[in-house]
Amino acid sequence: MTQGGDIWLPDVQHTPSPNCDERPGQMPVDLLVIHNISLPPGQFGGEAIEAFFQNRLDPSTHPYFAEIAPLQVSAHLLIRRDGRAQQFVPLNRRAWHAGQSCFQGREGCNDFSIGIELEGTDDTPFSDRQYERLLQLTRAIQSHYPAITPGRITGHSDIAPGRKTDPGPCFEWRRYLEQL
């Protein structure tokens, strides 16, 4: 669904984040980056992730929040443990999810990628509903950006090695990619 030129997917909750901007020039979108997130770390549910992506995380509610509250980050999409999905940034805009990153010699992956966060941790298996929803959303994204082939889907750990570890060893890459 396109609203004012922005690409918002149907059947997801739209929760706009201010942490995005225009992609540079005519940069083609040709990479999908898979992440994981839980706030506080290791805890699922609640509104902390949404608050974080919308710059309204209360630093007084958890010691970890005091560290991260000043950061301005976002992802295009978040998939909760029960499979519910939220979209924070239109697909055509640049979300601030990858940070310092490089894919196949190209720096600054935010410029040409879409980021999907899975609610989880590196060492917690993801739910069946998350994989089902991830497959649905990946196919929807590929319909808008056919250059995102299975070979152009990667983990945050692969584009920021040594700095990031997600989606982690519990993410079943084979299961996901074989079903695309």
Residues taking part in catalysis: 117
pLDDT tens for 72-127 read 999 999 999 999 999 999 999 999 999 999 999 999 999 999 999 999 999 999 99
What does pTM read for this prediction? 0.97
> If residue 115 lies in a helix (H) or strand (E), which one and from where to where?
strand 113-119
- Distance CA(162)–CA(130), nearest Å, equals 26
- CATH level 3 topology of 2-179: Lysozyme-like (3.40.80)
Percentage of the residues of the chain whose pLDDT score is greater than 70: 98
